[in-house]
Structures are given as structure tokens and as C-alpha cells.
Amino acid sequence: MAARSKNKGIDNRDNILKNARRILQKKGGQNTSLADIARAAGISKGTLYYYYSSKADLIYDITQDHMKSITATLLKTVEEKADTENATDIMYLVYETVIKAKARGRLHLYLLQEAVLGNAELQKRFQDAYSEWFDMITTGLKRVLKERTDVEILAHVFLTSLTGGIIQQLIGNKSLPLKPMAQWLTGNS
Amino acid sequence: MAARSKNKGIDNRDNILKNARRILQKKGGQNTSLADIARAAGISKGTLYYYYSSKADLIYDITQDHMKSITATLLKTVEEKADTENATDIMYLVYETVIKAKARGRLHLYLLQEAVLGNAELQKRFQDAYSEWFDMITTGLKRVLKERTDVEILAHVFLTSLTGGIIQQLIGNKSLPLKPMAQWLTGNS
Amino acid sequence: MAARSKNKGIDNRDNILKNARRILQKKGGQNTSLADIARAAGISKGTLYYYYSSKADLIYDITQDHMKSITATLLKTVEEKADTENATDIMYLVYETVIKAKARGRLHLYLLQEAVLGNAELQKRFQDAYSEWFDMITTGLKRVLKERTDVEILAHVFLTSLTGGIIQQLIGNKSLPLKPMAQWLTGNS
Amino acid sequence: MAARSKNKGIDNRDNILKNARRILQKKGGQNTSLADIARAAGISKGTLYYYYSSKADLIYDITQDHMKSITATLLKTVEEKADTENATDIMYLVYETVIKAKARGRLHLYLLQEAVLGNAELQKRFQDAYSEWFDMITTGLKRVLKERTDVEILAHVFLTSLTGGIIQQLIGNKSLPLKPMAQWLTGNS
DNA sequence: GATGAATGAGTATTCATTCAT
DNA sequence: TATGAATGAATACTCATTCAT
């Protein structure tokens, strides 16, 4: 829709992106204006519009960045430990790591809202991210649970549960028994 | 905090509530102003404020309504069928029923956002709802899966997965294998 | 302009008046709505309009009440003590009594504003009050300062200074040397 | 509290200020909205907020302007004529000049109200202005009434009387004998 | 007499977006 | 490249006033 990746001033875009994510995580989406983001990035509103032709454009790139960040977290946890740890520990670690990053969760919820509110491009990005994470989880689990044939279903259950866990964390529900849940999920036959 | 359930003009409050939910589900929270809600309810903005002293006040009642609606859906599915159906079918039915109600999901996401954005009253309401649903699910499952001792953990996994499923549905992810997931969840030993 | 002293329900009007003055003094004019006044008087807004056909109408009666209250204060101070005390003490007492009644001063300022903002009836009321107070002061001073011929000018200086003193008190200026000022005013030859 | 004198767009701030004072003097504070002020200044409401981040912020600058204007008037009258005229004439001239500027008086009353209604910053400004005027009057009078030791008390009486005179003028009281009052004030021994 | 319900015009404030320089 | 200035439409909320019962 909007012109993206103009290839000009990539460092500037990076600077904007970093600061935008930082302030969005701190203040929450609805409380952050473009003026706030510009100020956080140390540039003027005019300059912001020089690099991003609309708010939707900026939000798309922020989403991109955000998704990559989650993917990196998953990758680090799943890939690096897949050989040394058992499935339960990995799953628990993912639960803990992803769910407890509350500021990131708040940003996630905000971007979700933007996507759901009719931004088709953003929705596509979320769907792609889900696929990507699904593949990573499946691949990781297959390496540990070699003999199991239900890994894909397990991955779906786990991923949806992970998303739901983020939500629960955001509304302050501290009582989720993440460790037993991880045990239960991997204790399947 | 805000005076609620003053018992005055209950019918009109109901009218407002119904229409507010309807339009919020259709247009999404961020795109709906109090003026829109008043228009949808066929009253003036002034009248809206006669019944609800602030937007937060109105949203709280909408949340109340919304939660009750989900609870009723769950209750109907879980309680009524608990004796005649097996656990897998019940779980699948809940998945389908709750997840596929897309408009309701959009409202859910909006209320969630409001809660997360610092509305403590609303957060409490969400936490209470989670407890309530957890109890219902647990009770229902215990009736069917009499011999199982892991019902509570199963309930947690299922409920988080259910929430995550709502999110996936909202971003247009049609590929969740809900039936196999339900089977997998109840197939545990 | 508006129909006043309808002779019906005088006690109710009195009740409204008393409570209106009380709450206006407490909360200040701009922060007090007719709803507040009705609530303070323990009646509905509808009833308020039954007794007063407009806000201006109510404010006129409040002004009437307020002026009478100041007049009574002046009368009590000037008349009762005119024989036993000297002019300086009386003047100082008036200064102190009128200026230090801060809540009443705040109401005075509010009514003043209303009058100045184009309410001719109210302006007339203020002018009449000034005349009345002027006469009282003059009469009182003449009784004490029998031989003086400049009493009327003194009364004008004193009355304007008194009004100015109320203002100074309202903005928190505590440094007015009221006693020396009273001495100075009566020390004239 | 609010960021003032940002040094940006001083000319436009001046334009806003001038027009704000003009329209406030004409219509009175309660009848003038920010929309009115913007219209009077020939700019949009948005632009008004570009220069003033809140109504209180704008009002503070207007007060500043207004106070300076009165100070300048006083200075011109007191300082320039202090050597050539006698005390009575100076005092009378101040009475006349300050009291008769009715539009300015209306603005004064409005700002007073704002200050009294809990705006601490504004109250401080009024107190400071009183001190400043007091010093000017005292200095001016001392130059003319060299031998007098009661100049400070006289200055207090005169300044309060001056404020009271403004009020009387605002409610349309034309009968104040300013000349005799000035004579009386300087005729003290 | 008394009131609850309804209203509509008005208020300060926000913010994404545009544009001349 | 970069920005300061300007905008207008939108937003939540207030309040004096009306009126049917």
C-alpha cells in the first residue's frame, strides 16, 4: 500500500525504528503519538514523514522488527538448546522467556489490534510470523522428540497456548503453572 | 470507582449496552467514538452521559456483558453436553464456538487492550473471568474424564490455547487444526 | 427580566438559596453547576427550574442574599459599636471582618463577574449596595467623628479600599497593614 | 509548569496575545472560547495549540502582558510627572487613567477570577504585580512628599482604593469623587 | 408541585498529515 | 535532506434548559 523500503537513509530508518519500538513498549500504543516517536528518535515530525509516508507505513516496519525480535528469541531458545536439553525444559524456557517480556507483549497486543482493525498487510505479516514460528517449533521438537508423530499438533497447541499466555500475563494473571504445563505438553504419548 | 448499577433507567442502559456492543463488534474499538455509540443507540450524546458518567464506566459494563456472554456460551457447551458427549467433542465444540465468533473476538481484543492500558478495574474483571472459565472447564472435564488427575493442567493449557486461537482467528489464520488439537488434548494419559 | 419573587413556595426558595450560597462559596462559581446546586439543596434539577426560571434568575436572588449578608455584617459592626468604640477601631474591625471572610469574598468576585458580563439587573444591584453601604459608613462615622466635615470623602476612600482589600485577600496577599491603614484613615484632619 | 517563552515563533505568539487580549477585553473571559481567540488571531485552533500548550499557558502570558501594560501606565504617570506636578494631581491622574480603562478592567477582573479559582502561578503573578506597583507608588510619592513619614501606608490605602475603584467603574458606578479623594489622600498630615 | 429523562450546542485538547523553505 | 509551522477533523465530556408525566 504505502511505499516501503525506499533504500534511502536506511540508518535513519533504523534509528527511527529502534526508538519507536522503545517508546511504544514503554508508553503503549494508544498513548504514543507520532510526535512522541519523532521526539524519541531525536528528529522532527517532518523528518519522520520524510522516511515514512504514513503512520501505517511506520507501523508495518515496527511490526517487521518486532516479529524478527520474537523469532530471534525463539531461535536462540529452541535451536541452541535443542541438543542439550529435553523437550520439557525447552518448552518451559520458551514459555517463560516469551511470556514474561511484558513490554514486548504490550507492543504485540497493540500491533495485533492494528492488524485486526482492517490492515490486511499487517494481518498477512502476523500469519507469516505464525507459520515461521510454527516451523521453528516443529523442527526443534522433532530433533528432541524423534520418535513422536504428533509433533505438529503439539506445536499448534503450544503456539496458541503461548499466545494465550502472553495475554494472561498482560492482564496480570500470575497464576499460570507454566512448568507443569510444559511437562504435561511433552508428557504425551 | 464510578457509580454503576444505579437501578435507574435499566431498560435504557440495556439499549445503550446492546447497541454499543453491536457497533464496537462491527467497527472495532479505536474507530468507534461515543458519538457513534450514541447514534447507534438512537440517543444524543447528552443522554449517553446521563446513563454513563464516563467512557470507562460504559466500557466496564460492556465488558461485564461480554464476559457473561462468553460464560453463557461456555456453560451451554460444557454443561449441557458433558454427559452425552466425550471430552474430545466437547473441547472441539468449545474451540469452534468461541473461536469462530469473530465479531465477539474483535470486541474481546479491544477490551483487552483497554484493560492492559492501565485500567485496573478492567484487568480485575478479566482475571476473574479467567478463573470462572477455568472452574467451568475443570468441572466439566472432571465429569467426563473421571479417572484423570491432570485435569487442571489440561484446563490451563486448553484455556490459554483457546485465547491464542481467538487471536489467530482474528488475524485470519484459518489453518488451525482444531479437531486434531482437541483430540490430542484429550488423548493424554 | 425573569419573573422573580413568585410568592409561591417561599420556604423552598429559601432552602435553595441557602444551599446555593453554601456550595458556591465552597466550590467557587465556575466550578458549580445547577446540578450541583440542586443536589446540595436536596432537590432535583427539575424542581430547581420550577422555582427559578433561569440561572440568571437564581443568581439574582443569591446576589440579593449575599448583599444582605454583607450589609448585616457592616450594620452589626458599625451600628452596635459606634458609641463605645473610636473610629479607628471600628474601621479596623470592618476591614478585618469583611476582608477575612474569604469564601464570601470568592462568591462576591463571582457575582461581580456575572454583573460585569452584561447583566444590567445585577449591576444595578451592586450599585445600590454600594450606596447603601456608603450611607451606613457615613452615618456611623458621623456619629463618632462629629466635628469632621470630610466624612463622605473618607467613606468613599474607605469603601473602595475595602473592596480592593477583599481582592488582595483573595489572591493571597497577606501583607496589608490593616491596623495602620485604619489609623491613618481616621487620623486625618 | 508549562513551558513558556520557548523563543520560537515570537511574532506569532505576539499576534495571538494581542488578539486574545483584544477579544477578551471586548467579550469578557467566560464568553470567550479558545476557538474565538483563534478566529480573532486569524489562525486555526491547531495553530493556537502549537504556540500554547494549554489554556492556562495562554492565560498566563496574557496576564503577563496585561500586568506590564498597567505597570507601564503607572510608570508613565508617576515617574514622568513626579517632578513637575504635586502629589494630588499625580494621584488623581492615576485614579482616572487606571480606573477609566474599562475594557482593561474587565480583563483584569477575569484574570483575577482565574487566579482566585486555584491557579497558583497566576496568584503569584498578581501578588508580584501588587508589590511592584506598591514600590512604584511609594518611590513616586516620596519624591514629592519628601518630609512625610507615612508614605507607605498612604500607598497601601491608595492601591487598595485604586483596585476597588476599578471594580466600582466596572459595575457602572460613575459617582466616585476621584478628585476630592485624591486631595483628601494627599492632604494628610 | 415535583421530577427523571433527554438534549444540543459548546469546551478544551489531540493528532496524523501537509507543505513551503 | 530536513524541518518548523500550520491545520482541521475528531474526541471525551459539560451544562443550562425543556418537558411529559
DSSP string, D5-31: ---SSHHHHHHHHHHHHHHHHHH-GGG
Q: In strand E, which positions have an atom below 7 A from any protein CB? A: 1-20
Tell me which residue in C31, C117, C188 faces D188 most closely, judged by beta carbons.
C188
Q: Please tell me if residue C157 touches chain D, with a CB cutoff of 8 Å.
A: yes
pLDDT at B53: 94
Environment class of residue C178 by beta-carbon count within 10 Å: exposed (0-12), middle (13-18) or buried (19+)? buried
Tell me which residue in A150, A153, A184 faces B154 most closely, judged by beta carbons.
A184
Pick from B109, B101, B173: nearest CA to A117:
B109
In the predicted model, is pLDDT for residue A119 greater than 50? yes
CB contact under 8 A, B170 and A117: no
Chain mean pLDDT for chain A: 90
Q: Please tell me if residue A44 touches chain B, with a CB cutoff of 8 Å.
A: no
pLDDT at A188: 55
d(CA C160, CA C155): 9
In the predicted model, is pLDDT for residue A77 greater than 90? no
Environment class of residue C97 by beta-carbon count within 10 Å: exposed (0-12), middle (13-18) or buried (19+)? middle
pLDDT at D189: 40
| Beta-carbon contacts of residue B129 (< 8 Å; ≥ 6 apart) | B67, B70, B71
Chain B: give the shortest CA distance to residue A8, in Å: 31
Q: What is the pLDDT of residues D122-142, one digit of tens each?
A: 999 999 999 999 999 999 888
Under the banding of pLDDT at 50, 70 and 90, the label for residue A86 is: confident
B49 touches strand E (CB under 7 A): yes
Q: Measuring CA to CA, how many Å separate D7 from each of B34, D11, D22, D52?
A: 39, 10, 23, 12
CB contact under 8 A, A163 and B159: no
Counting CB pairs under 8 A, whether chains D and C reach 3 or more, is yes
Contact B188, B154 (CB under 8 A): yes
Chain mean pLDDT for chain D: 90
pLDDT at B5: 38
Chain B residue whose CA is closest to A153 = B181
Q: What is the pLDDT of residues C116-169, one digit of tens each?
A: 997 889 999 999 999 999 999 999 888 888 888 899 999 999 999 999 999 999
Nucleotide nearest to D53 (CA to C1'): E13
Contact A56, A94 (CB under 8 A): no
CB contact under 8 A, C187 and D187: no
CB contact under 8 A, C159 and D164: yes
Average of per-residue pLDDT across B161-173 = 96
pLDDT at C158: 97
Nucleotide nearest to D55 (CA to C1'): E12
Chain mean pLDDT for chain C: 90
pLDDT at C44: 96
Average of per-residue pLDDT across B71-80 = 87
pLDDT at B4: 38
More confident position, C189 or B38: B38
Residue B167 with chain A: CB contacts under 8 Å: 112, 160, 163-164, 167
pLDDT at A83: 72
Chain C residue whose CA is closest to D24 = C117
Distance from CA(D102) to C1'(E15), angstroms, rounded: 40
d(CA B120, CA D148): 68
A44 touches strand E (CB under 7 A): no
A130 touches strand E (CB under 7 A): no
Counting CB pairs under 8 A, whether chains C and B reach 3 or more, is no
Which residues of C in 50-69 have their CB below 7 Å from strand E's atoms? Answer: 50
Q: What is the pLDDT of residues C57-68, one digit of tens each?
A: 999 999 999 999
In the predicted model, is pLDDT for residue C172 greater than 50? yes
What the block records as the C-alpha cell of C40 is 446540595
Which amino acid is present at D145? L
Distance from CA(B34) to C1'(F10), angstroms, rounded: 11
Under the banding of pLDDT at 50, 70 and 90, the label for residue C188 is: low
Distance from CA(C58) to C1'(F21), angstroms, rounded: 25
Q: Please tell me if residue B134 touches chain A, with a CB cutoff of 8 Å.
A: no
Helices (H), chain B: 10-27, 34-41, 45-51, 55-81, 87-100, 102-116, 120-144, 151-170, 178-186
Contact B77, B135 (CB under 8 A): no
In the predicted model, is pLDDT for residue D168 greater than 80? yes
What the block records as the C-alpha cell of B153 is 493442567
Chain C: give the shortest CA distance to residue D112, in Å: 8
Which helix (H) or strand (E) is A43 found in, with range? none
Environment class of residue D1 by beta-carbon count within 10 Å: exposed (0-12), middle (13-18) or buried (19+)? exposed
CB contact under 8 A, C30 and D31: no
Q: In strand F, which positions have an atom below 7 A from any protein CB? A: 1-20
pLDDT at D3: 36
Average of per-residue pLDDT across A130-153 = 90
Average of per-residue pLDDT across B78-82 = 76
Residue B163 with chain A: CB contacts under 8 Å: 160, 163-164, 167-168
Chain A: give the shortest CA distance to residue B9, in Å: 32
Average of per-residue pLDDT across A25-53 = 95
CB contact under 8 A, D153 and C118: no
Counting CB pairs under 8 A, whether chains A and B reach 3 or more, is yes
In the predicted model, is pLDDT for residue D84 greater than 90? no
Q: What is the pLDDT of residues C70-114, one digit of tens each?
A: 999 988 888 777 777 788 999 999 999 999 999 999 999 999 999
d(CA A111, CA C124): 63
3-state secondary structure A19-39: HHHHHHHHHCCCCCCHHHHHH
Contact A94, A74 (CB under 8 A): yes
Contact D158, D136 (CB under 8 A): no
Chain mean pLDDT for chain B: 90
In the predicted model, is pLDDT for residue C21 greater than 90? yes
Contact A23, A29 (CB under 8 A): no
Q: Please tell me if residue C184 touches chain D, with a CB cutoff of 8 Å.
A: yes
Distance from CA(B44) to C1'(E8), angstroms, rounded: 8
d(CA B96, CA B81): 15
pLDDT at D151: 94
CB contact under 8 A, C189 and D189: yes
Average of per-residue pLDDT across D75-91 = 83
Contact A18, A66 (CB under 8 A): no
CB contact under 8 A, A28 and B117: yes
pLDDT at B188: 55
CB contact under 8 A, B157 and A184: yes
In the predicted model, is pLDDT for residue D83 greater than 50? yes
* Chains interfacing with C (3 or more CB pairs < 8 Å): D
d(CA D112, CA D187): 32
Residue A181 with chain B: CB contacts under 8 Å: 153, 156-157, 160
